Amino acid sequence: MVSPWMENGDLRSFLHSYPDADRYELCAQMADGVAYLHSQNIVHGDIKGANVLISKEFVLKIADFGTSALKDYTLAFAQTGTKPGMTIRWTASYLHTIMAGYD
């Protein structure tokens, strides 16, 4: 998978470098992005600062769709084992119960 270069890096690094950044605008862009994904029946599954990139125009882009789901199908681009890879800290609690059945 190829994507454009995101000059401002990930969201966490961006906010560290630009502490006065308009967080409301970033939140609005994030909400728009997630709403679009949901309108396409896509659930990202691992939204966190490291998976949100910022372009040189300060446009937010959602990245890392390795644990995403499209309706009933898993998008396993980077899955290396039988267990889906999720970031525990950022995963919805109900998914921990569901994923406990994977071996």
Residues annotated catalytic, as ranges: 46
Q: Please say whether the beta carbons of 60 and 18 come within 8 A.
A: no
In this structure, what DSSP letter does residue 70 have?
E
Residue 68 phi/psi, 5-degree rounding, is -70, 160
Task: Give the chain's length.
Answer: 103
Four-point Cα dihedral 53, 79, 101, 44, nearest 10: 30
Number of H helices, E strands in the chain: 3, 5
